[in-house]
Structure 1
């Protein structure tokens, strides 16, 4: 509160927009009067009075009230004041203080949308994004269907959550909360005991269209003496060497797996399953050579061409330039069909094989 008041000992004239402290000295039917000391007498009236009429009933003569100066001198010679504007400013200052100190608060969830949860903190509307939920509260919905995500989030309405202020902007009225921030520092500290390349054993806890979540115990203990569980992400590209459309084809929730840590950033850890499997491209040049004729199945089209499965673990690409246009490519090739191809080049280092369609004789 002191940060909002004048810090100088000397008395200065009030300025519009400043928060001032006054003692309530009188109440009228549609106004209240405050003694501002050397600054004179202040008044809350008109729309400023009507907007906080019920709140003003809580104050009695002699109480200290913080208000904001909105006019230095009205027609009657009073300093015109606003309680509501001062309350908002004081509230935002309190929220800023809580953010700086990392204080946690309990909030009740009032609503949900596809992006997260809605709440109020000190009467200020607040938003808790999905990305800031604890891992156990994250909506693990296969296919990431927005309607299913919303259904999962709506289950939290009416419940209380322990949160921290993650970000705020009083000018835009933006207040962002985080549930996982309270655990973040603990996780960062524990992750100092791990390094890239470490292999951990854990359990698959969730599957999304972009990968899977794995929970693994650490050497740290909770206050109850149990192992502190960490959770990381295995991106879809790190599940296997083959091209994967659905992570659920590789693992299921509850599966026990070993994974290698490939990245640690702050409180986030990324892992890989395929790093613990033999790279099928290591000895590929012993099996295939430039110019070889191979049989392969068309698995996927993309803007650059078509992916061809030469074996369960090896995918080649036939570039769209071999056909001229996308429509011609999709006319010549059909998803799921097998064709004869010729190998144009092989680059094991970047896992790349270029192909061309073998002409029918």
Structure 2
């Protein structure tokens, strides 16, 4: 049975090994569901339920007071080794993949819950500035490719320590790549700088504080030698940060463009990150289409924490959802352009910066959805959920549905 928890509360999730459990705090997005007392869980929320029934390919969970959850189909197959071992009365943690299916059940995924827990660990590592020793897998002209817990990540050249930074006088990119390739196969001490769960990627920095505990005098000496420069750099950063505050507008030079966003040099020795989600109110799939190294741009400081500066470019302009809340209402018919597919369905843009989710459950399959709704094309929809405060909109396709029978069409018309 789901309960309301503080975001610091830990939850246990059984992995594919029935004898292994992983305990970690939920990420903010999932923990929020458990804080909304009395509000039904939404897609993406992690919940706990008690097993009340089992079938050969289904497990039912009691999610009182919200209803009954079900794990079945491909979600059951993905976790069948675990689910075959659960017994009546066992507590299971899972993630909501559909709020209510045609039979009235809340559809759940054990696989997605495991994934959510892993991302929770990554977010916790960011908060704790945890240090990891990771092997450099590859290099490109922008930085190094790493991997943590099976999740690919990127270490921008701008986030390397002076010891490893590729110093090339003429800035030749091929020469920079040659220098970076020398690090492939080496272990670097890094921390996670940012988490991009949607694209399943991480961004790392080598500039994080070094771990205090070491296992040998040799390691201690090496750590001390490395951290000397880092300590002076952190002191300089602290001094520089004193001149800035949240809400302040700055202008700087773009020093790095990566999948996660854009690095901007505020002044010598001080750099900020504009996350992908803060570049524009509209959907940005590739920051490189908007910025390149050397560009000058303005940004707003939205957070200063642990020596790091978070920036936003989109917040220099009004939030389009503020205007949208007066123009749209639940039940309105709108035309929207398909701008992206994701695991839940498709995103459709109603206007610049305002988009809604078209859930895959409206279609016989993901393939039918993508065949029916083409990227870049405009289609009619009905707004079924509109929560501008949370920037949340759900759309129902109102176009032709050839897969429906005449009986289905009549039922839909009567509704």
Given the two structures, how large is their TM-score scaled by the length of structure 2?
Answer: 0.45
Q: Deviations for 1:32-58, whole angstroms, at most 9, x for unmatched residues?
A: xxxxxxxxxxxxxxxxxxxxxxxxxxx
- The Cα shift of 1:132 comes to 4.6
Bigger mean CA offset, 331-340 vs 200-209: 331-340
Paired residues in the alignment total 219
RMSD in angstroms over aligned alpha carbons?
Answer: 3.9
Is 1:329 matched with 2:329? no
In structure 1, the partner of 2:41 is none
Is 1:133 matched with 2:176? no
1:215 to 265, 271, 281: 265
In structure 1, the partner of 2:398 is 358
In structure 1, the partner of 2:330 is 290
2:298 to 247, 253, 258: 258
Contact 2:278 2:313 (C-alpha < 8 Å) held by counterparts: yes
Contact 1:216 1:230 (C-alpha < 8 Å) held by counterparts: yes
Q: Deviations for 1:190-236, whole angstroms, at most 9, x for unmatched residues?
A: 2123221111111112211111111123xxxxxxxxxx442111111
Bigger mean CA offset, 207-216 vs 244-253: 244-253
Q: Secondary structure at the match of 1:286?
A: helix
Contact 1:132 1:181 (C-alpha < 8 Å) held by counterparts: no
CA change 1:316–1:328 in 2 (3 A) is: same
Contact 1:263 1:269 (C-alpha < 8 Å) held by counterparts: yes
Q: Secondary structure at the match of 1:353?
A: strand
Structure 2 unpaired stretches of 5+? 1-134, 145-154, 168-173, 185-206, 402-415
- The Cα shift of 1:329 comes to 2.2
Q: Secondary structure at the match of 1:189?
A: helix
Bigger Cα Rg: 1
1:169 to 214, 218, 221: 214
Q: Secondary structure at the match of 2:320?
A: coil
- The Cα shift of 1:338 comes to 2.3
CA change 1:308–1:331 in 2 (3 A) is: same
Q: Secondary structure at the match of 2:335?
A: strand
Q: Secondary structure at the match of 2:285?
A: coil
- Distance in 2 of aligned mates of 1:151 and 1:267: 31
Contact 1:234 1:270 (C-alpha < 8 Å) held by counterparts: yes
- The Cα shift of 1:257 comes to 1.7
- Distance in 2 of aligned mates of 1:209 and 1:151: 22
In structure 2, the partner of 1:268 is 308
In structure 1, the partner of 2:321 is 281
- Distance in 2 of aligned mates of 1:214 and 1:203: 5
1:201 to 251, 254, 270: 251
- The Cα shift of 1:134 comes to 5.0
Contact 1:114 1:150 (C-alpha < 8 Å) held by counterparts: no
2:180 to 133, 137, 153: 153
- The Cα shift of 1:300 comes to 1.2
Contact 1:114 1:149 (C-alpha < 8 Å) held by counterparts: no
- The Cα shift of 1:150 comes to 6.1
Q: Higher strand fraction: Structure 1 or Structure 2?
A: 1
